[in-house]
């Protein structure tokens, strides 16, 4: 008999309520301590350390000379992956591309701020970005699509995927298929903390990048934290998490089915069902054993750990308003609104990285092929970050242009403020000294 964690929200103390908001990743100090030497080894030894950690940590048959995936390996991958999986990858890439092309900002906008004075923004691609594709407790062609497509749409000229090698020294074949179909040709066989260090510092084989994006295990999260002064580490995407919000218009068994989606990623996942309907809560708990009967042993193990532990379970609230409040306080990575009138709830939810509406939009569809990005902020970072997007692959420069007729008014105001702040060169540059130069050509 599996005891799923069950909470009656209104009966919890303030401390118990805040404990529900915790993720397994909240304390990664243990990982930080252990990744320090890995990062230092990669910095000082380069490829030698990358190959050694591949052998030690991934148990991979990896030599320094085989860190970079070859053309022949790409070609072989297309033969290994079944046609219907390749079709599904193409379907996903097509939708993800449509979504991200829509999202791409205009290359430049300019507004006439005052007559004769213009200002705006220009967006240009980041020159090099590394895409982390996990491979520990699963392989992730979907993460390859979700990171590669927006990067290609943004026009990043130097893209490279880093992903852990399998014991036979290969990269997951579907990941290679997805990479090539999305338009990324460089893949390095390196994962975990050593991957973050390799792209931050560069090695003999691996080119350094300005930024790394993509989700990963706490080893990856810890390395990103330590190297955030060396490389831009993008949005914080750690162990997967989801919240299923259900009102009283759906069957609890459906809620349980979807609760298991993200709970099966690993023992460090987080997954809650929140509902004000006791019927839904009870149906969900009762349905879990049948759903577990259709899952692999490994995934049953992971999801049981999550749903019987401190980062998952069923939360019964005393009202729908209390459910909204819990969702917003939790700020989940993925949120499903299970209701026959899902749009009615949407306005009440402000803190969630991805909001999927109605019984036909399970997290699985969002994860693989709907179009929006499934690389999302975890650990309550949805309160300040959004999903990975095209804008993560570009940087913004502001543009300004003041014409001669508009200049005097701006100069007068700028000079006053410069003098007030005590900056004499700032003030001189908008004084009669400039006027004199402007009147002469040399």
Ligand X SMILES: NC(=O)c1ccc[n+]([C@@H]2O[C@H](COP(=O)([O-])OP(=O)(O)OC[C@H]3O[C@@H](n4cnc5c(N)ncnc54)[C@H](O)[C@@H]3O)[C@@H](O)[C@H]2O)c1
From the list ligand HSO, Zn ion, ligand X, none, partner contacted by residue 312 (C-beta under 5 to 8 A by kind): none
Q: Least Å distance between CB 142 and ligand HSO?
A: 4
**Binding range to ligand X, per CB under 6 A, among 11-19, 67-75, 236-244, 424-432:** 236-244
Largest CA distance in the chain: 90
**Residue 395's beta-bridge partner residues?**
124
**Binding range to ligand HSO, per CB under 6 A, among 36-44, 139-147, 315-323, 421-429:** 139-147
The label of the residue with tokens 């036979």 reads: 168
Q: Binding of ligand X at residue 378 (CB under 6 A)?
A: yes
From the list ligand X, ligand HSO, Zn ion, none, partner contacted by residue 147 (C-beta under 5 to 8 A by kind): none
Q: Binding of ligand X at residue 57 (CB under 6 A)?
A: yes
Contact 160, 207 (CB under 8 A): yes
Q: Least Å distance between CB 176 and ligand X?
A: 16
Out of 100, 265, 276, 334, pick the active-site residue.
334
Q: How far apart are CA 102 and CA 118, in angstroms?
A: 26
- The b-or-e profile of 266-288 (16+ CB within 10 A means b, else e) is bbbbbbbbbbbbeebbebbbebb
Q: Which helix (H) or strand (E) holds 235?
A: none
Footprint (CB under 5 A) of Zn ion, residues 365-384 = 367
Q: Least Å distance between CB 431 and ligand HSO?
A: 57
Contact 393, 126 (CB under 8 A): yes
Examine the residue annotation and report whether 106 is marked as an active-site residue of this protein: no
Q: Which is nearer to ligand X, 247 or 258 (CB)?
A: 258
Q: Which letter does DSSP use for residue 38 in this model?
A: H
Q: Binding of ligand X at residue 134 (CB under 6 A)?
A: yes
Footprint (CB under 6 A) of ligand HSO, residues 333-352 = 333
Residue 328: exposed, middle, or buried by beta-carbon count in 10 A (0-12, 13-18, 19+)? Answer: middle
Q: Phi, psi (5° rounding) for residue 121?
A: -125, 145
Examine the residue annotation and report whether 333 is marked as an active-site residue of this protein: yes
Q: How far apart are CA 76 and CA 401, in angstroms?
A: 54
User: Which of 36, 105, 136, 386 touches ligand X by CB under 6 A?
Assistant: 136
Q: How far apart are CA 381 and CA 237, in angstroms?
A: 9
User: Which of 270, 367, 373, 379 touches ligand HSO by CB under 6 A?
Assistant: 367
Q: How far apart are CA 271 and CA 363, in angstroms?
A: 12
From the list ligand HSO, Zn ion, ligand X, none, partner contacted by residue 159 (C-beta under 5 to 8 A by kind): none
Residues found near ligand X in the complex (CB under 6 A): 57-58, 134-138, 140, 143, 164, 191-193, 215-217, 219-220, 237, 239-240, 265-266, 268-269, 333, 374-376, 378
Question: Which residues carry out catalysis?
Answer: 333-334
Residues found near Zn ion in the complex (CB under 5 A): 367
């Amino acid at each position: 008999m599996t005891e799923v964690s069950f909470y009656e929200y209104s009966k919890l103390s303030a401390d118990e309520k805040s404990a529900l908001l915790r993720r397994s990743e909240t304390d990664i100090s243990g990982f930080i301590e252990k990744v320090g030497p890995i990062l230092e080894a990669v910095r000082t030894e380069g490829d030698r350390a990358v190959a050694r950690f591949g052998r030690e940590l991934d148990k991979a048959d990896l030599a320094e000379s085989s860190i970079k995936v070859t053309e022949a390996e790409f070609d072989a991958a297309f033969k290994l992956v079944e046609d219907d999986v390749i079709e599904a990858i193409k379907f996903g890439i097509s939708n993800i591309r449509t979504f991200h092309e829509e999202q791409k900002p205009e290359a430049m906008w300019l507004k006439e701020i005052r007559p004769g004075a213009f200002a705006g923004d220009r967006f240009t691609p980041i020159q090099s970005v590394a895409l982390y594709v996990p491979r520990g407790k699963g392989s992730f062609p979907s993460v390859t699509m979700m990171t590669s497509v927006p990067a290609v749409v943004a026009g990043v000229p130097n893209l490279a995927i880093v992903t852990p090698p399998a014991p036979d020294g290969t990269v997951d074949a579907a990941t290679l298929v997805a990479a090539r179909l999305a338009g990324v040709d460089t893949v390095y066989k390196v994962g975990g903390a050593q991957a973050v260090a390799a792209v931050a510092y560069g090695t003999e084989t691996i080119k350094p990048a300005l930024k790394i994006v993509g989700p990963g295990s706490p080893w990856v999260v810890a390395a990103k934290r330590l190297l955030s002064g060396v490389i831009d580490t993008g949005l914080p995407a750690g162990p997967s998490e989801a919240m299923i919000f259900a009102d009283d218009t759906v069957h609890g068994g459906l809620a349980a089915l979807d609760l298991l989606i993200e709970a099966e990623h690993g023992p460090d996942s987080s997954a809650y069902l929140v509902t004000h309907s006791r019927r839904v809560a009870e149906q969900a708990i009762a349905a879990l054993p049948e759903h577990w009967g259709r899952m692999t042993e490994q995934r049953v193990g992971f999801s049981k750990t999550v749903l019987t532990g401190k980062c998952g379970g069923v939360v019964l609230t005393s009202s729908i308003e209390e459910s909204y409040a819990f969702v917003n306080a939790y700020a989940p990575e993925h949120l499903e609104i299970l209701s026959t009138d899902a749009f009615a709830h949407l306005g009440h939810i402000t803190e969630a990285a991805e909001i999927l509406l109605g019984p036909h939009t399970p997290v699985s569809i969002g994860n693989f092929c709907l179009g929006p990005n499934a690389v999302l902020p975890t650990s309550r970072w949805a309160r300040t970050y959004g999903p990975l997007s095209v804008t993560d692959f570009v940087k913004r420069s502001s543009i300004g242009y003041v014409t001669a007729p508009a200049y005097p008014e701006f100069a007068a105001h700028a000079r006053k403020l410069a003098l007030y702040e005590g900056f004499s060169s700032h003030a001189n540059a908008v004084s009669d000294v400039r006027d004199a130069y402007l009147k002469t050509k040399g």
